[in-house]
Amino acid sequence: MGGLYFEDVEVGDSYTAGPYRVTKSEIIRFAQQYDPVPEKIDEEAAARSIFGGLTACGPHTFSIYILLTSQLQPRLHFLGGLGWDELRMPNAVYPDDELDLDLIVLEKRESRSKSDRGILRLRIILRNQRRETGA
């Protein structure tokens, strides 16, 4: 099984994935299921919203970020996520945006309770094709 384990990763290492192209139909389909407010599923309502058009809902952007972390090359083996701090989405994601991901290792320490694993603190940035940060 390829990919990187805790012991293979050093502070300062960085990895990238993407781009992922977000389509209008995916934006609408996702929002219909998980954020079914008019401005996320209807183009006319979206045009009148503060975003001026259809934009991906927050969990959709978050989902794309997770998808891209699963596409890092080489693969990083995660057992699970302990949490997220300072999750920010300063720029909306519009149809046909292309998102890529940068992951930087800020900190690593071995688990105090379980000797077969460790904990990484990561900085993860999504950017669109205009190089604006998305999350």
Instruction: Point out which residues bind a copy of itself (CB under 8 A).
Output: 30, 33-37, 49-51, 57-60, 62-67, 70, 79-89
Instruction: For a copy of itself, give the closer residue by CB, 11 or 37.
Output: 37
Question: In the beta sheet, which residues pair with residue 121?
Answer: 107
Instruction: For a copy of itself, give the closer residue by CB, 11 or 71.
Output: 71
Contact, 59 vs 84, CB < 8 A?
A: no
Q: Tokens 């690593």 label which residue?
A: 108
**DSSP 8-state symbol, 6:** G
Instruction: For a copy of itself, give the closer residue by CB, 43 or 84.
Output: 84
Contact, 26 vs 63, CB < 8 A?
A: no
Minimum CB–partner distance for residue 88 and a copy of itself (Å)? 4
Instruction: For a copy of itself, give the closer residue by CB, 11 or 117.
Output: 117
Minimum CB–partner distance for residue 124 and a copy of itself (Å)? 13
Minimum CB–partner distance for residue 73 and a copy of itself (Å)? 15
Distance (Å, whole) CA 91 – CA 78: 28
Strands 118-127 and 98-110, bridge-based pairing: antiparallel
